[in-house]
Structure 1
Amino acid sequence: MSLLRKIYLGLAIWGAIHPMYYFISWLMKNDWDWGGMIDAWYVNESSTGLTWDLTIAAITLTIWIVAETWARKNWLALVAIPATFGIGLSCGLPLYLFLRSRPVT
């Protein structure tokens, strides 16, 4: 495995663990109130802007993943889509780059 692929994989793992620590910590303190967590994303203009920034980037990444998967027939790369929306862009993007950079047979 190349150094670049190792970096992508490391970033995907970090992007899964680090944000989840904060999400789970918040949910544990707030009785697993998912609606409250979503409300917290829109508590002020700064967090609302960041939420929309990440949402638009996630949608863009999804379109790119679908387009390239269709062209390259690298079907495994589609797992980056649920990772992006279920965990976050910080996991989905490096995961996709990791999967995209592997030799396709």
Structure 2
Amino acid sequence: MRWVWLALAVWGALHPLRWFIVWVAQNGYSLSGLFSAWRANPATTGLLWDATIAAVALVLWVLSEVRVRRNWEALLAIPATLLIGVGCGLPLYLFLRTRPL
């Protein structure tokens, strides 16, 4: 399963990035435009909050487990989650968590 987690982390980074690149090509590099798009309708706002809550839960989980397990490499999942998304951060964390200590 360890390599499945890594494959999902790569997919979770690249696939959403493709859609972000399409959006930037259509709208330019507008941070305010991106925030507006995230609040365009109740469905997108709901997805934004869903992803935000999942990201907060994942960051707290990573921090609490790293404190106990001393698996410092697993901290890499935090910037992956915050900068790329939960679709990359969660499987990356599972990949790093399942490595032999």
Deviation at 1:29, TM superposition (A): 1.7
Question: Which residue matches 1:44?
Answer: 41
Q: Does 1:31 align with 2:20?
A: no
- Which residues of 2 match residues 1-105 of structure 1 at below 5 A? 4-104=1-101
TM-score normalized by structure 1?
A: 0.93
The letter for the 2-side match of 1:66 is L
Using the alignment, how far apart are the partners of 1:28 and 1:5 within structure 2?
35
Using the alignment, how far apart are the partners of 2:40 and 2:72 within structure 1?
38
Preserved CA contact (<8 Å) 1:77 1:99: yes
Provide runs of 4+ in structure 1 moved above 2 Å: none
| Number of positions where the alignment pairs a residue of Structure 1 with one of Structure 2 | 101
The letter for the 2-side match of 1:98 is F
The letter for the 1-side match of 2:70 is K
The letter for the 2-side match of 1:64 is W
Comparing 33-42 with 5-14, greater Cα deviation is found at 33-42
The letter for the 1-side match of 2:47 is L
Using the alignment, how far apart are the partners of 2:31 and 2:51 within structure 1?
18
Structure 1 gap segments, 5+ residues each:
none
The letter for the 1-side match of 2:93 is Y
Structure 2 gap segments, 5+ residues each:
none
Q: Residue by residue, what CA displacement relative to the aligned partner does 1:67-97 show, whole Å, maximum 9, x if unpaired?
A: 0001000000001001001001000000000
Deviation at 1:28, TM superposition (A): 2.2
Q: Report percent identity of matched pairs.
A: 52
